[in-house]
Chains A and B, each alone.
Chain A
Amino acid sequence: MDLGPYVVEGRSPEAAVFPGSVDEVRAVVALAATEGVPIVPWGGGTAASLGTPAARAGLVLGLARMARLLEHEPGDLTATVEAGMPVAALQTALRARGQWLSLDPPDAERATIGGVIAANASGPRRHLYGTPRDLLIGVTVVTGEGALVRGGGKVVKNVAGYDLPKLFVGSFGTLGIIVEVTVKLRPLPDAERLVAVRFDRLKDAGTAVRTVTGSDLIPSALELLDAEAGRSLGSGPGASLVVGFDGLAEQVAWQCDELRRLTAPLGGHGIAPLPDEAWSRLCTAARAAFATPAAVMKLVVLPVTVADVMEQGANAVRQRGLLSAWSAHAGVGVLTAAVFSPGGQADPAAIAAVLEDWRGMAGAGGGYAVLEWAPLTVKALVPVWDAPGAAGRIMQRIKAQLDPLAILNPGRFVAGI
């Protein structure tokens, strides 16, 4: 078969297998374990290039044939889904019955529910609804030893045993192959709207973020974009504060009025509605600012420092003769920054220097940074993950206990896991 879609960082896997059932997944794992071939669990492949380059490409284990909605009981506000179901397809099925999974990860057409959980991916609405951590209530995995293990359950409140769903969120396929998940749902809101407020100065937009989070408003999303990232949404010069509201129509209307009232004294230029497509473009606004970014980094910082980090980060890039674009889930302190070389071919050392600057800024405030995307020449110079300290040793012990053969996605994760 054509392994082209499964090439990661220039390396082709040894094979790609697409089991159609849990038993087939177990059989594939058993075979790989016997042969000592590493397994790369594969959903939609949207996060495949995130991580430390692997020592050995291994066997891609794709979940594309396990993509059914197994159970949806609207009265329970829960759904049980096979891991390979794309998020957008799941949302369509749920929407038909008046509900949704309150998660809007990037590239939802391709991203699978299992992959989104493994990568802990989320979008703008995490501001109000949280991340996969808050929505996953049950998980079934096949371990690296071929055992079938279930954690959590199908009820929204459950404290029996250790919280294995939490363990698998963001574990990048290193502890088990997620084959089935149960998630919490929400009723669809009556109305929703996305609006933008423009500011001449990023600093004022940052003040507006604090004002909104300290007010009675209950936005579903609170995004801060610099001028570069804002351009990809059709904004003019200056920073943009993009705010989502949902609820009853009168609640949405009241909140828009209130937002205008709160932001006008801070230099906000009115409020403009954005088209529905803007929701999905928000996730990739920084990355899409340039045709070919040289690297993309995610910075996690204290929410109150977001505008300052953006400003300093952009300055650091300018001093090196490069350009950057920034967007942030401002209310939760998660930034995405893309660096771009205007002169054409980017010098890996210069890009690496920028990324180290950014990582230092995140770390100085008690946060951290993850290199979300970069060519191998840059990854050779800058680690993908931050040094995890003492917590890294605990993570290594967890990996050693739960995947003793070290066969699941080895070497690509935090602390060398």
Chain B
Amino acid sequence: MAMAVLTDARKRDLRRELEALVGRGAVLSDPDELLVYESDGLTLFRALADFVVFPTSAEHVSAIVKLANREDLPFVARGAGTGLSGGCLPAEGGIVISLMRMNRVLEVDYDNQVAVVEPGLVNLHLSWAVGPAGYYYAPDPSSQQACTIGGNIANNSGGPHTLKYGVTVNHVLGLEVVMPDGEIVWLGGKTRESQGYDLPGIFVGSEGTFGIATKIVVRILRKPQAVKTVLAVFDRVEQASAAVSEVIARGLVPAAVEMIDRLTIQAVEDAFGCGYPRDAAAAVLVELDGLAEGMSAQTERIVQACRDSGAREVRAARDEAERQLLWKGRKSAFGAYGRISPAYMVMDGVIPRTKLPYVLARVNEIVASHGLRVGNVFHAGDGNLHPNILYDPRVSGEEERVVQAGAEIMRLCAEVGGSISGEHGIGLEKADFMAFIFSPADLEFMQGLKRAFNPTGRCNPGKVFPTRKSCGEAGPSAYRPHPIEEKGLAQRF
């Protein structure tokens, strides 16, 4: 879509106008300052905006959006920038609307178990705010120390506990939204359902193309009375995969079932020494939560399921310190890859759980056929794979091979009845892969839905759907650490 290109003089005028709207310290337009906002966590795609603006109210956001419409400028909302699919990139010019100054918990209603928050609130800070009263916010993407709830809304983020508690959309009741034409509307509210089409339900996960959320009503949950975590170690990946299905087949719904493979175990042990056996083929982490009564019986059932699947070692954490240590191996995997490889690309695909043994073997074959190594660390319980392809960007042609292997893995996920994203979204990265799982009619129907919200296409253009710009270019892109990762503030997924 052709949109306005600004002259320097026009840019200066608009900067003054934006400053009049939101204040002098709340507008960036110097190229040096804009650089920080040229990518999200997927650093291969880069694009510079004309302005980055920091509103502090819905009225600010509305005024900025109306100005963008008047000037025919594209605009995009941005949270912490931890996304991994290029979803909040500007469209070469236009306005980035950063919501980082709208980060308050506006209201907590414990009786009704809801909280009203601003979009720039960091995910984990909500659990901190309600924790002393015995509550928490369930969706827990692994970047939850840094990512914002508004960004979680855009991507319908999940996390390890999705298996039992669902993704972001299962916890959102209502949203105040600035529509792409600048109108401020409420979709849903504080009640548990709203009449008519499920507007909050379709807004969540629309990757910033339906408007900008400025207030969000989320459910908060009582903290579970008890939590138990079990680590099972396997000599063969097939045994570990079988254990995942076996745990489910024993009639329990764990809070989380995570798996890490041999290469990842070795990387983790080299880096942190979490006590996983270095020669194991895979480790599976199962977490149960709920009532204290019956917890030991359920744990025993999990242990037995793992043993029956061929685990060579199964142990349950005896206390919180031991539990944290078991999780540390899983959670530090991404940092550990950095110790054994100059770079890696994180993939995000989903498959039916029962296809795990076949798909994991095929992933390894695909990557090996390109002369590369892969580490797998993922949400096995819901089939959300994260193959991480290790490579060296200084070796000529290696990055291209990574991209090629990534595309083959995405096609594999589609072929076995899965999907091309479990939690990272489509963004720019996977727009061309949408055709792997959706027909032209499916995509046209989705475009119709988009037109209902965003008829001019100025709100986050170029995302989700294949475009001329992305067609024919590289698909998924290589990993480079984002500044907030380098500072240790965030983890990949």
A and B associate = yes
A interface residues, Cβ below 8 angstroms from B: 73-78, 98, 120, 130-131, 133-134, 143, 147-151, 153-164, 166-167, 169-171, 175, 186-190, 210, 213-216, 218, 247-248, 250-251, 254-255, 300-304, 332-334, 366-368, 370, 385-386, 388-392, 394-395, 397-398, 400-402, 413-415, 417
Interface residue B420 (Cβ < 8 Å from any Cβ of A): yes
0/1 string, B176-204, CB within 8 A of A gives 1 = 00010001011101111111111101101
Cβ–Cβ contact A366 & B191, under 8 A? yes
Cβ–Cβ contact B441 & A149, under 8 A? yes
Shortest beta-carbon distance from A41 to chain B in Å: 16
On whether A304 and B111 interact (CB within 8 A), knowing A218-B291, A250-B293, A368-B191, the answer reads yes
Question: Within the assembled complex, what's the spacing in Å between the Cα atoms of A133 and B354?
Answer: 24
On whether A254 and B293 interact (CB within 8 A), knowing A160-B419, A167-B197, the answer reads yes
Cβ–Cβ contact A151 & B352, under 8 A? no
Secondary structure at the B interface, as helix, strand, loop or mixed, is: loop
Question: Within the assembled complex, what's the spacing in Å between the Cα atoms of A215 and B424?
Answer: 35
Residues of A close to B109: CB separation below 8 A: 302, 304
Question: Within the assembled complex, what's the spacing in Å between the Cα atoms of A151 and B438?
Answer: 8
Pick out which of these stretches binds chain A: B14-22, B262-270, B378-386: B378-386
Residues of B close to A247: CB separation below 8 A: 290-291, 294
Residues of A close to B193: CB separation below 8 A: 120, 131, 300, 334
On whether A166 and B198 interact (CB within 8 A), knowing A76-B354, A255-B291, the answer reads yes
Shortest beta-carbon distance from A116 to chain B in Å: 14
- 20 interchain pairs, CB-CB under 8 A: A75-B353, A78-B352, A150-B442, A154-B417, A159-B424, A159-B426, A160-B419, A161-B438, A169-B201, A187-B251, A247-B291, A254-B291, A300-B193, A368-B195, A389-B185, A391-B196, A395-B199, A401-B448, A401-B449, A414-B197
Residues of B close to A158: CB separation below 8 A: 350, 419, 421-422
Cβ–Cβ contact A160 & B198, under 8 A? no
Residues of B close to A395: CB separation below 8 A: 196-197, 199
Interface residue B155 (Cβ < 8 Å from any Cβ of A): yes
**With A155-B351, A157-B162, A162-B206 already in contact, 11 other A-B pairs whose C-beta atoms are closer than 8 Å:** A153-B350, A156-B382, A157-B382, A160-B430, A161-B443, A164-B446, A167-B202, A251-B294, A367-B191, A368-B191, A394-B185
Cβ–Cβ contact B201 & A166, under 8 A? yes
On whether A302 and B202 interact (CB within 8 A), knowing A170-B197, A402-B448, the answer reads no
Cβ–Cβ contact A413 & B196, under 8 A? yes
Shortest beta-carbon distance from A64 to chain B in Å: 26
Cβ–Cβ contact A334 & B222, under 8 A? no
Shortest beta-carbon distance from B252 to chain A in Å: 7
B450 contact from A143, A154, A162, A415, Cβ within 8 A? A162
Question: Within the assembled complex, what's the spacing in Å between the Cα atoms of A233 and B370?
Answer: 67
Question: Within the assembled complex, what's the spacing in Å between the Cα atoms of A158 and B441?
Answer: 19
A163 contact from B205, B253, B421, Cβ within 8 A? B205
The 9 lowest CB-CB distance pairs between A and B, nearest first, are A166-B201, A414-B196, A187-B251, A254-B293, A390-B185, A75-B354, A401-B448, A304-B111, A397-B452
Cβ–Cβ contact B156 & A163, under 8 A? yes
The count of residues in chain B whose C-beta lies closer than 8 Å to any C-beta of chain A is 88
Residues of B close to A255: CB separation below 8 A: 291, 293
Question: Within the assembled complex, what's the spacing in Å between the Cα atoms of A225 and B354?
Answer: 43
Question: Within the assembled complex, what's the spacing in Å between the Cα atoms of A171 and B196?
Answer: 7
Chain B residue nearest to A71 (CB atoms) is B417
Cβ–Cβ contact A160 & B421, under 8 A? yes
Cβ–Cβ contact A134 & B383, under 8 A? no
Cβ–Cβ contact A302 & B169, under 8 A? no
Cβ–Cβ contact A216 & B222, under 8 A? yes
Chain B residue nearest to A78 (CB atoms) is B352
Shortest beta-carbon distance from A71 to chain B in Å: 9
Chain B residue nearest to A182 (CB atoms) is B417
Cβ–Cβ contact A171 & B197, under 8 A? yes
Residues of A close to B190: CB separation below 8 A: 302, 366
Interface residue B208 (Cβ < 8 Å from any Cβ of A): no
Cβ–Cβ contact A75 & B452, under 8 A? no
A157 contact from B194, B204, B384, Cβ within 8 A? B384
